[in-house]
């Protein structure tokens, strides 16, 4: 088991390296470097920057050197000091922005993932045990429509409907009257009410696919002989279902985290923008519109690394839960 974990972690290194390269390419993509843009902007707005100051800024970020040196500087900063660079748009270190926003992104994405399972697993089980029933058809149709609807449209329409019929604005983390209020129960309830909509919408985006995975796996399991044997021995139908096939059908769910997580993170970005959540999404949008490339690159780096780490955790869980994978991978 330990050997397997070590192997998986080592395999992670080249992927993380690739992610960092791509993020850095993103930073370098816009024509011109940001220090000279920054200096031009300052000069245009009437603030005259001293030549030495300009030279100092250029030297700090290594714009007088080839790009691989800049990459080295950026990476050394991240790896040794946890320093992601400077956001000229916010006028503060990228770290400060990440520290404020990353926790919300993680909380919302994680809750959305859990919620999507809470919805998808019962429906998947029902669809598999009652194939071609009404519920199965409705679930299939809904999953189709769901996949076809852009998340932002859904968030947008539901926010508007909630505003219209429940007289409650689900935008932001708290209603305006609680913004400066000290923490109390009323504020907490308000916060939870605001978090429900984004979590539900992001969570539902992965539900359709999860239902289908669960349904297909369970259908396969239910056809196997041990189920027939158990039935012949007189084990109650529900006990059969939940004791063996459902547990086995869970495992592929974990192996699909690898592609569910990118979808959830993408969904989190766009839906947070629509619902003005203070997460990485709106920060990324503002940064991209302003070509604040250190922030953009850092966010891409962090979100991608998060996804890859999530996949790693699911793989380790899978190896722990399913001995076949563990023994296959270590070659025992």
Partner 1 sequence: MTVQQQTKQAAQGLINQPAGDLDAIIEEQLDVKSERYYYAKQWQLIWWRFRRHRLAMLSSILLIFFYLIAIIPGFMSPYLPQTRFENRQQSPPSKVLIWDENGSLQRPFVYALTRVLDPKTFKYIYTEDRSQRFPIRFFVEGDTYKFWGQWETNRHLFGTGLDGPPLVLFGTDELGRDILSRTFYGSRISLSIGFVGVILSFFIGVTLGGISGYFGGIADEIIQRIIDFLLSIPALPFWMALAAALPRDWSVTQTYFAITVILSIIGWSGLARVVRGKLLALREEDYALAAQAAGASQPRIIFRHLLPGFTSHLIVSLTLAIPGSILGETTLSFLGLGMQPPAVSWGVLLGDAQDMVVVAQQPWRLIPGAFVVIAVLLFNFVGDGLRDAADPYAN
The answer to whether residue 270 forms part of the interface with partner 1 (CB under 8 A) is: yes
Contact present, 109 and 281 (Cβ < 8 Å): no
Options 120-128, 228-236, 248-256, 286-294: segment touching partner 1 (CB under 8 A): 286-294
Options 10-18, 68-76, 213-221, 240-248: segment touching partner 1 (CB under 8 A): 10-18
Interaction residues for partner 1, span 295-324 (CB under 8 A): 296-297, 299-300, 303-304, 307-308, 311
Token couple for 135 = 């519920």
Report residue 178 CA to chain centroid gap: 28
Interaction residues for partner 1, span 17-36 (CB under 8 A): 18-19, 22-23, 26, 29-31
Shortest Å, Cβ 292 to partner 1? 9
Nearer of residues 85 and 245 to partner 1, judged by Cβ: 85
Shortest Å, Cβ 284 to partner 1? 6
The Cα–Cα gap between 123 and 211 comes to 7
Applying CB under 8 A, among 9, 118, 138, 153 the residue interacting with partner 1 is 153
Q: Total number of residues binding partner 1 (CB under 8 A)?
A: 54
The answer to whether residue 293 forms part of the interface with partner 1 (CB under 8 A) is: yes
Applying CB under 8 A, among 240, 265, 277, 318 the residue interacting with partner 1 is 265
Find all residues with CB under 8 Å of 61, minimum gap 6, and list them. 33, 35, 70, 73, 85, 86
Options 48-56, 84-92, 226-234, 294-302: segment touching partner 1 (CB under 8 A): 294-302
Applying CB under 8 A, among 13, 134, 145, 238 the residue interacting with partner 1 is 145
Residue at token pair 């940001």: 34
- Nearest CA to 26 out of 308, 261, 287, 262 is that of 287
Instruction: Please list the alpha-helical segments (H only) found in the chain.
Output: 2-28, 34-44, 51-60, 67-76, 94-129, 134-148, 151-165, 185-222, 225-232, 237-243, 245-255, 257-274, 280-289, 293-321, 323-330
Options 1-9, 66-74, 77-85, 152-160: segment touching partner 1 (CB under 8 A): 152-160
The Cα–Cα gap between 235 and 233 comes to 6
Name the maximum alpha-carbon separation found in the chain: 88
Q: Cβ-count burial of 31 within 10 angstroms (0-12 exposed, 13-18 middle, 19+ buried)?
A: exposed
Applying CB under 8 A, among 13, 47, 134, 148 the residue interacting with partner 1 is 148
What is residue 79's DSSP assignment? I
Give me the residues that bind partner 1 (CB under 8 A), please.
14-15, 18-19, 22-23, 26, 29-31, 144-145, 147-153, 156-157, 159-160, 163-164, 171, 258-259, 261-263, 265-267, 269-270, 273, 280, 284-285, 287-289, 291, 293, 296-297, 299-300, 303-304, 307-308, 311
């Amino acid at each position: 088991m330990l050997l397997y974990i070590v192997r998986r972690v080592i395999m992670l290194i080249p992927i993380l390296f690739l992610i960092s390269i791509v993020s850095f390419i993103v930073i370098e993509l816009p024509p011109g470097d940001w220090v000279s843009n920054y200096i031009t902007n300052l000069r245009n707005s009437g603030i005259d920057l001293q030549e030495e100051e300009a030279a100092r800024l250029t030297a700090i970020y290594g714009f007088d050197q080839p790009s691989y040196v800049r990459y080295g500087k950026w990476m050394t900063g991240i790896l040794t000091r946890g320093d992601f660079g400077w956001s000229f748009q916010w006028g503060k270190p990228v770290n400060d922005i990440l520290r404020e926003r990353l926790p919300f992104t993680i909380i919302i994405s994680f809750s959305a993932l859990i919620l999507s399972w809470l919805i998808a697993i019962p429906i998947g089980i029902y669809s598999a045990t009652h194939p071609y029933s009404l519920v199965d058809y409705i679930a299939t149709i809904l999953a189709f429509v769901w996949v076809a609807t852009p998340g932002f449209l859904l968030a947008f329409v539901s926010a508007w409907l909630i505003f219209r019929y429940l007289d409650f604005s689900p935008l932001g983390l708290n209603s305006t009257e609680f913004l400066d209020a000290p923490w109390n129960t009323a504020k907490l309830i308000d916060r939870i009410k605001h978090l429900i909509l984004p979590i539900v919408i992001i969570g539902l985006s992965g539900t359709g696919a999860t239902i289908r995975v669960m349904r297909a796996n369970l259908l396969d399991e239910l056809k196997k002989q041990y189920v027939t044997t158990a039935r012949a021995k007189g084990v109650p139908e529900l006990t059969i279902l939940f004791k063996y096939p459902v547990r086995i059908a869970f495992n592929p769910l974990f192996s699909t985290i690898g592609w569910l997580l990118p979808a959830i993170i993408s969904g989190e970005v766009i839906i947070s923008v629509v619902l003005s959540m203070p997460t990485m999404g709106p920060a990324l949008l503002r940064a991209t519109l302003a070509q604040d490339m250190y922030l953009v690159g850092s966010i891409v780096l962090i979100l991608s690394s998060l996804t890859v780490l999530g996949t790693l955790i699911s793989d380790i869980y899978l190896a722990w839960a399913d001995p076949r994978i563990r023994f296959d991978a270590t070659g025992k």
